[in-house]
Structure 1
Amino acid sequence: MCESDADGVTAFAAFKRLLRKLGLHEFPCGFGTWRENRKLENEKKTSTVHSPRGISAITLMEHDPNYERVETLLEYATSPLSPWYTDCNWSDEAAELRQIAIKSPQKITAKFICSYFKTLRMRNENVIKIDADLLKLKNLSELSLSANRIVDVMSVNLPPCLKTLELSGNNITDLAPLCVKPPALVLLGLSYNRVANISEHLTAQQWPQLLCLDLFHNNLCDLKEVGLTLKTLPKLQSLVLNGNPIALVPSYRGFLIDCLPVLNILDDITITADERVNYSTLHLHTEYIENVATIKLFVPHVKGIPDPQEQQTDVSIEQKFYFIQLYFIEETTNDSKHSDAEKIPSTDKTVQSVDNQQMMSTETNEGKQSPASVSNIRLIDSKNIAVGNPNSLNRSFLPSTNDSPPPTTVLQSPEFLWAENQINFEWNNVITRHNLLPLRDYLYQDLEFKIIERKMSGHLPVEVEVEEKHAKGKGKDDKDAKKTKEEKKKKESKAKNKKAKFPMENVIWSAPEFKVVATLHLSLESFLHGEHVVEEILTKEVCSFDEDSRKSTPPSKSPNNKKDSKANKKNNPLSRSQSQTKEKKSAETKKGKRSENGKNPSPPFENNSVHLPPLEMTVRIELEHWTSIEQALESTGA
């Protein structure tokens, strides 16, 4: 693209640029010194013997190497291996026009070219405007201007014979200029634009012949308005509205099927007779058609959380709880009738992460509080994962519709203690949202689940601590005096029930410590393509530090340890012999591990981490949709 085209070109200028690539007046097309002259052709006709098919047989002596035959020029133009081959996919007539420029170059005139084209596909050509010069293409019936930068389409500049108009992937927001006496279109494609209103634009008066309408991924938010507007189109048989905010409404498909009796295909799915019967008379109950999306979240359990190894003594205790957090777009409308059961309002208090793993709460004062009293902590700022943030996992290639990212809220599951096999959360949450447009944009991101560990450390007051020690001392004296089997059994049972008998009412709890055990992601983009259920088992590899390897490491080499080991070797002949055999074995292994160059290999990497079974979290998210008129009336309480 040249510098002059950086700001965009008109549709006819883009057409002329593609036409120049055909080279209709350059080799091997058009007139030139490369073509056989007429005198030579007449001489060949009189001196050659014609074959049964009428093709002249010319010997090498009769052929002039300075000229090319028409058959050879056609091969140069059509063979993909030829250096003069050019791509002609932008029009069905481009390749044929090039052959005409070889066979009959005298026909190639500006008027002939404009009248010859019937199809034109100019994708990603930086077109910003459909100009009046496009009317020169009088016989044009198919025009595709996808993936350009068009904002407004003036219907007066469209050729009168146009039947198919494809404008997907542009910046169109208003359909009013397009709907002023447009040509009798059969197919209109407006997917991936920013159309928010179609009322008074897509009616039978403007589009009496329209059969197919594609409005995929626009900004339509009012289902009743869309249905009642499209109802006026008498011949509409195929409709695509997926990706619009209205597609998230439970009554979306049923209302449109019942509202458009002529429609045969909705969102590339054929409408069945059963659907017609199930959704019958739904369009009459417009009072139940609300622009509200309902999402049901269910997390039954989590497997594979490592053993927390809680520590407890006679005067201190440590407890660890686990819960799940999910950031979701916040409800912003004031007239919302529903609220989340476990919604946590946004606050200015945030918790800073330590190496993105440990998180400390904002409460720093110690006091007597139960382990379950500290909940609903907002661990990170919601702006970090809002729509439009480049760091967030956004799968959409489209820019965000909103100029400013919407606020988010925290959804949090109940807390549970660690369990060996799995933690049964059984977390159910029903999310309702009235702000459909930000919700649609938010679903292009991956939902981020965080499994968080809350560690509570507590200790007894000084007075209780002294009493515990005193009681412990008495117990020791009694055990020394009475060493019977029954007392030993009682001692074991006391050790097992030690945690249960700990005086929890007297514990002074310190500030809780938070750690993110795992971060899992789930894509909900399929909701924008017609799916209603996403159910997956999210996995995450977990590594835990092996404390046994720490215990098995030899003690530090201090002078006292060296003296003790030497004394033991002198006194114990068996240990002396064992040490000698170990030294021999180590010497042999060192010799065997040397490489061919005579160099000792590098020592193996000491890894103290243990690979545990992967952490698994089962998630089921359902977008509510009605399958019948009975379900619609039941869900609305009618």
Structure 2
Amino acid sequence: MQEQLLTDMSSNTLSAVLEKLIHRLCLHDFPCGYGTWRKTKGSTEGAETEETDALLDLLSCPHSPWRQDGSWSPQTAALRQLAVLTPERLHTDFIYSYFTTLHILDKGVSVVDDGLLKFSKLEELVLSANKISEIPAENLPSTLKILELRDNWLSALNSLTSCPPPRLQYLGLSSNSLGSHDVVCHLTGTHWPQLVCLDLSDCEFQNQQALLDALNTLPCLRTLVLEGNPFTLAPFYPGLTVDSLPRLSYLDASRISPEERCSFSSLSKMTDLIEDRASATVSVGRVRGIPDPLMSLDENTPDFPVITYGYFITYEFLSHQTVDLKFSKSKCDAAHVTEDVFSDADLQSNKNCEKESSKPDAQDLVVYTEKTCYDTAHVSRHRTSKLTWAECMDFSDTQTYIVSDLGGLKRFFNQGLYLTLEEEKVLSWPAASEDVPVAKPSRNVKERKGGKEKESPIKSGSTKDKDKKKKSVPDLVQDAPIRRTLGSVHVPLQGLVKRGHKVDVLCDLGTLHTESELEATQSLEKDLGKKIKEDKKKEDKESKRRGGSGTKQKNTAAFKGRGKGNKESETDVHTDNSVSIQLEPLTVELSVELEKWQSAAEANQLTLPHKSKQPDLS
């Protein structure tokens, strides 16, 4: 067991992985190297010998079994050709010194050992997607110019900067947990005097100013990648970076133009404007695809209850809370609910609404807190105002959220938000009164849809005056609202973490049926089931009354015929339902935009209002 453990550990070293890859090149086996298959000057021609060109073709032919995958180094193809042309040159030292580029991706490497020093002419080393937690600088060849360590387990750079390769020009550290202040101290010109390009994307750096102060000491730095770090969500990014690093030419794969540099001039000196916070604006626009809920009403519909419908949208977003939060056992307490002013009926039905309202299937409401609990952000639920039905309902709802926990905001964007469209149905009944008799006013369909038309005359055979007629109209009392979820959708927001500052999306919630269509389908299915049971009972009675084997065949045929008829009726039901399906999909317009300063002057104008501006949580 111990020997197996030691073997597994050695196989995770970089040199062990490289030895395996070189061995798989088969530099001393057919068609490479020496052997009876080679045709030399002194050898006699035979059936087992091959021309040199034929051996080279076996190395490069797409269908050849001797063709090797040399994606881990561009030198593999040329090295195998040398093994055919001049195999005598392929001694061990020559092979190691021949490699200038190595790409070892996702090979489980956890240790960079001193075996790498055998590659004396190595200039480019890519070790992405491995399990490396430490890079000893003494094990790196001094000839190295490019070092890529993306997506590893690095959390410190102490060992790498102890004696870094002096000629290194590119250093890739993205997708590592390097956000601590100690790491920033190792990114200075003292350690990297020749560094031209530096990739620090998705490294969880929080303090941009401290990082920029260190990077400003790199004398040759021209290309910098910072996207994916929490501070890039703040409005002063990228302006602060552009103004703080005057020698920089490219930022996040975009060239810095002279106009851009001029517009952000002096922004780095406006320290009083720089706050570690983000401002995100969420806008809900038009909604289409909701079928008319009162489409099936006619004049024979009872006058009461009067039914009204309202529609609203809820979504969850991360916001900042200035007071400390304590963990609560209740999931509802973990989120602050931001909604518009409710009616009395709304307030009475809050408990029912919470049960009926939509909640995300993939996650509950999440609370993000720092360990010290002095800076807390939480997911709050916002609800738009209610609108009556229309083919196109424009909510025009805009909310701005100020978030100080930039790390929490990044995690929230990576998770995305959940948007839900809900319908509220309210039944209104005449109020009980001893003095005024309860009359049933006749309402047409238009009055039921919105109440915008004038009241129709009250049906009555008496000749009372208008005042008495008005008194006969009862006051209406509303029941608690009945809410149902029409659709819910997950909206991805990863684009806000990577370069983009705005996400526009048309949310597709599928197609909807009206309540009348659903009820009609259910009633038809019930009626069909009853009819089948009744026919079966009649058939059983007839078979018992007639008896005899001679009638069995006839009864069986009759039952089959009736079964065929039942299937046809079921087909008719499905056909009717398919016609009533609302073909237009239910869509909601949504946009999420991060505030980004376009110039130093704009920052100066917009910062003062934002300092006093708080998110609308009422």
Sort the TM-score into its range (normalised by shorter chain): 0.7 to 0.9
SS in 1 for 2:247: coil
Q: Which residue of 2 aligns with 1:287?
A: 272
Distance 1:632 1:556, change over 3 A: closer
Judge conservation of contact 1:535–1:621 (CA < 8 Å) in 2. Answer: yes
Q: Which residue of 2 aligns with 1:186?
A: 169
Superposed CA deviations along residues 592-625 of structure 1, whole A, max 9, x for unmatched, are xx9xxxx999944344343153223222211111
SS in 1 for 2:239: helix
Where in structure 2 are the equivalents of 1:44-193 lying within 5 Å?
63-184=45-166, 185-193=168-176
Aligned counterparts of 2:130 and 2:82: Cα–Cα separation in 1: 31
Judge conservation of contact 2:128–2:151 (CA < 8 Å) in 1. Answer: yes
The runs of 5 or more residues in structure 1 that have no matched partner are 42-62, 337-344, 352-367, 390-400, 560-593
Distance 1:540 1:252, change over 3 A: same
Judge conservation of contact 1:199–1:229 (CA < 8 Å) in 2. Answer: yes
Q: Which residue of 1 aligns with 2:249?
A: 264
Q: Which residue of 2 aligns with 1:528?
A: 497
Superposed CA deviations along residues 508-545 of structure 1, whole A, max 9, x for unmatched, are x5443321112133222211221112223323332324
Q: State the 1:40 CA deviation.
A: 2.5
1:436 to 386, 400, 406: 406
1:629 and 2:600 correspond: yes
SS in 2 for 1:114: helix
Distance 1:187 1:545, change over 3 A: same
Aligned counterparts of 1:463 and 1:264: Cα–Cα separation in 2: 81
Q: Which residue of 2 aligns with 1:515?
A: 484
1:420 and 2:409 correspond: no
Where in structure 2 are the equivalents of 1:112-511 lying within 5 Å?
112-184=94-166, 185-197=168-180, 198-309=183-294, 316-331=305-320, 334=323, 348=330, 369-371=344-346, 378=354, 379=357, 384-385=362-363, 408-460=378-430, 462-463=432-433, 467-469=437-439, 479-480=460-461, 503-504=475-476, 507=477, 509-511=478-480
Judge conservation of contact 2:366–2:378 (CA < 8 Å) in 1. Answer: no
Aligned counterparts of 1:433 and 1:477: Cα–Cα separation in 2: 57
Q: Which residue of 1 aligns with 2:539?
A: none
Superposed CA deviations along residues 77-101 of structure 1, whole A, max 9, x for unmatched, are 2222211110112112211111121
Q: Which residue of 2 aligns with 1:27?
A: 30
Q: Please report the TM-score for the alignment, with normalisation by the length of structure 2.
A: 0.75
SS in 1 for 2:20: helix
Distance 1:303 1:471, change over 3 A: closer
Q: State the 1:369 CA deviation.
A: 3.6
Judge conservation of contact 1:413–1:427 (CA < 8 Å) in 2. Answer: no
C-alpha RMSD over aligned residues = 4.2
Deviates more, 1:196-205 or 1:307-316: 307-316
The one-letter code matched in structure 2 to 1:122 is: I
Where in structure 2 are the equivalents of 1:555-574 lying within 5 Å?
none
The runs of 5 or more residues in structure 2 that have no matched partner are 334-342, 443-455, 532-563, 610-618
Judge conservation of contact 1:538–1:618 (CA < 8 Å) in 2. Answer: yes
SS in 1 for 2:284: strand
Q: Which residue of 1 aligns with 2:43?
A: 40
Runs of 4+ in 1 over 6 A off after TM superposition: 310-315, 475-478, 551-559, 599-602
Aligned counterparts of 2:292 and 2:414: Cα–Cα separation in 1: 35
The one-letter code matched in structure 2 to 1:98 is: R
Aligned counterparts of 1:107 and 1:627: Cα–Cα separation in 2: 61
The one-letter code matched in structure 2 to 1:421 is: E
SS in 2 for 1:331: strand
Q: State the 1:477 CA deviation.
A: 12
Indicate the percent of aligned positions where both proteins have the same amino acid: 31
The one-letter code matched in structure 2 to 1:321 is: G
Judge conservation of contact 1:223–1:252 (CA < 8 Å) in 2. Answer: no
Aligned counterparts of 1:546 and 1:453: Cα–Cα separation in 2: 11
Aligned counterparts of 1:346 and 1:423: Cα–Cα separation in 2: 38
Distance 1:148 1:308, change over 3 A: same
Q: Which residue of 2 aligns with 1:590?
A: none
The one-letter code matched in structure 2 to 1:284 is: K
Distance 1:272 1:519, change over 3 A: same
Q: Which residue of 2 aligns with 1:541?
A: 510
Aligned counterparts of 2:50 and 2:364: Cα–Cα separation in 1: 65
From the CA coordinates, give the structure whose radius of gyration is larger.
1
SS in 2 for 1:113: helix
Q: Which residue of 2 aligns with 1:619?
A: 590
Superposed CA deviations along residues 191-249 of structure 1, whole A, max 9, x for unmatched, are 22222134211000000000001112221111111211111111100011111111111
Aligned counterparts of 1:520 and 1:175: Cα–Cα separation in 2: 42
Aligned counterparts of 2:232 and 2:525: Cα–Cα separation in 1: 66
Judge conservation of contact 2:112–2:135 (CA < 8 Å) in 1. Answer: yes
Judge conservation of contact 2:291–2:582 (CA < 8 Å) in 1. Answer: no
The one-letter code matched in structure 2 to 1:186 is: Q
The one-letter code matched in structure 1 to 2:144 is: L
